[in-house]
Amino acid sequence: MVLLLWNIAVNTMQMRIGGTETGAMAGKVLDVRNPATGEIIESVPSGTGDDVGSAVGAAGDACGTWGKKTPRERGTILFHAAQRVREQHKDLARLLTMEQGKPLKEALDEVRGFANILEFYAGLSSHSSGEAIRLGAVGDGIVIREPLGVCGAIIPWNMPVLIMGWKIGPALLAGNTMVLKPASTTPLTCLKLAAILDRAGLPPGVLNVITGPGEEVGEAIIRHQAIKKISFTGDTATGEKIRKLGSLNQKELVLELGGSDPMIVMDDADLRTAVEGAIRGRFYNAGQTCTAVKRLYVHEKIADHFTRELKDRVEALTVGNGLGAKVDMGPLNSAGQRERIAVMVESVRSADEGTIVTGGCEMRGKTFENGNFYRPTLVAGVEPESRLVTEEVFGPVLPVMTIPDLATAIREANNTRYGLGASIWTRDIGNVRRFFDEVHAGIVWVNRHLTVPPEVPFGGVNASGIGRENGQDALDGYSRTKTLLLGW
């Protein structure tokens, strides 16, 4: 019988090891709360290092058969899984909204995005095998790609479904097996997706999901000697810790970390499009997106008009439970996250480092009393030394600064330790060329922000991380070459 888990009072959704559901060895559980209501919707096992050991054992056992399948056979299973995800996308999106908080329309986008990723990698299955090179008198070289073995994936709570797709799509197509740890506040949809993949034909042990705290389960994954590669997405501080641990046992590492993306609006930009871009870029997912617009620089000639238009649009956003119709922005994922945002805004207010144009407080009233809601906030004239500029603001607060010219905009954009994404809004191709060449970022958008399609490589520079996800790059990163040299 298939249970509709979100209709059940409090249930325990099990981890998945070796294709079967299992509780934690220690028997402890973690409660998963709906961030809009504070209610416990489900609990999951609080896994341990021993559970990680079992999962790595199951993943190791599965390596032989999975790695020996042809890329086409593996791609076909990913494709079938994507079809099943599409069939169930409404239920999956609802579950995602209930654990993460985002509006249902965004959750639907994310679930469809997961299916897109699996389909994209399934489509690469006939291009992923290797090459032959003629070497004249030396002979012929045949280069094949072989999987790395057991890989580890650790994912955050802000986009749990999409990021799970970014990791499993290329890793599994390349013939690896995986042990994956979701964030403690958003494990449910990931577990559901793993069950769907198993039912679509993934052999037991190819994908194992262990729930539990980062310090215990996450670190056990990083320390495990049999894991060859780790792909981690999360905070820069956690990434630093992982970089040190991972390099001790010579693991390959992909670290997708924090960002403080600048958005530059030049005086020749289409203002209506740019205002909409800033609204979506900042307030999508309540501002909890790695590539959100975190610093907005507007040309001084248009700044007053632009800020007025922006204020009207911010105040028109409907905030509420993500399951509600016409909700534009849900709660933050946790009370701690809301507290961090409130403290940052208070620091600006008390040091007089900017003018709060709108928002700047929690949402009040009966609808909001048990949820983690924060009012969409615009802060103008923010000083460069303010925490809203120097740190990653992972919530619905947009600092706006003015710039006199492009050179200043680029200097300010690069005045950060991060380097994930950046956008410029202009009709001048010369501005575009210069910005693209000089800004420190892994992805640069022109007249848009935020979008990360599976076809293009994605990742940051500096404190935003190392390595790339998506595209052919990610697939290549989950295999190593082995060369046969035929001397005739």
Whether 190 sits among the annotated catalytic residues: the reply is no
Least spacing, CB of residue 351 vs ligand NAD, in Å: 24
Closest by CA to 348, choosing from 420, 401, 419, 422, is: 401
Q: Is 131 in the site for ligand NAD (CB under 6 A)?
A: no
- Comparing CB distances to ligand NAD, the nearer of 50 and 315 is 50
Considering only 66, 120, 121, 157, the residue that binds ligand NAD (CB under 6 A) is 157
Answer for which of 177, 189, 233, 416 binds ligand NAD (CB under 6 A) is 233
Non-local CB neighbours of 377 within 8 Å, separated by 6+ positions: 314, 345, 356, 358, 359, 360, 396, 397, 398
Cα–Cα dist 92/241, whole Å: 33
Q: Is 106 a catalytic residue?
A: no
> Hey, what amino acid is at 371?
G
When asked if residue 219 is in the footprint of ligand NAD (CB under 6 A), the reply is: yes
- Residue 106, classed as helix, strand or coil, is helix
| Shortest distance, position 460 Cβ to ligand NAD, whole Å | 6
Per-residue burial over 247-276, b if 16 or more Cβ lie within 10 Å, else e, is eeeebbbbbbbbbbbbbbbbbebebeebbe
Q: Please tell me which residue in 119, 290, 309, 469 is annotated as part of the active site.
A: 290
- Smallest gap from Cβ 431 to ligand NAD, in A, equals 26
In the bound state with ligand NAD, the residue whose beta carbon lies nearer, of 371 and 442, is 442
Site for ligand NAD in 346-405 (CB under 6 A): 392, 394
Q: How far is the CB of 108 from ligand NAD (least distance, A)?
A: 19
- Applying CB under 6 A, the span of 25-33, 194-202, 257-265, 370-378 interacting with ligand NAD comes to 257-265
Task: Examine residue 181 and tell whether it contacts ligand NAD (CB under 6 A).
Answer: yes
- C-alpha 246/C-alpha 220 separation (Å) is 11
Q: Where are the alpha helices (DSSP H) in 352-483?
A: 387-390, 406-413, 429-438, 471-477
Q: In the complex, what is the shortest distance from the CB of residue 466 to ligand NAD, in angstroms, rounded to a whole number?
A: 11
E strands, 257-310, are: 261-265, 293-299
Catalytic residue among 99, 256, 392, 469: 256
Q: Binding to ligand NAD (CB under 6 A): which residues in 421-480?
A: 460, 464-465
Q: What is the DSSP string of 222-237?
A: HH-TTEEEEEEES-HH
H/E stretch holding 53 reads helix 49-68
Two tokens at 154? Answer: 């650790």
Positions annotated as catalytic residues are: 256, 290
Q: Which residues bind ligand NAD (CB under 6 A)?
A: 154-159, 163, 181, 183-184, 214-215, 218-219, 222, 233-235, 238, 241-242, 256-259, 290, 392, 394, 420, 460, 464-465
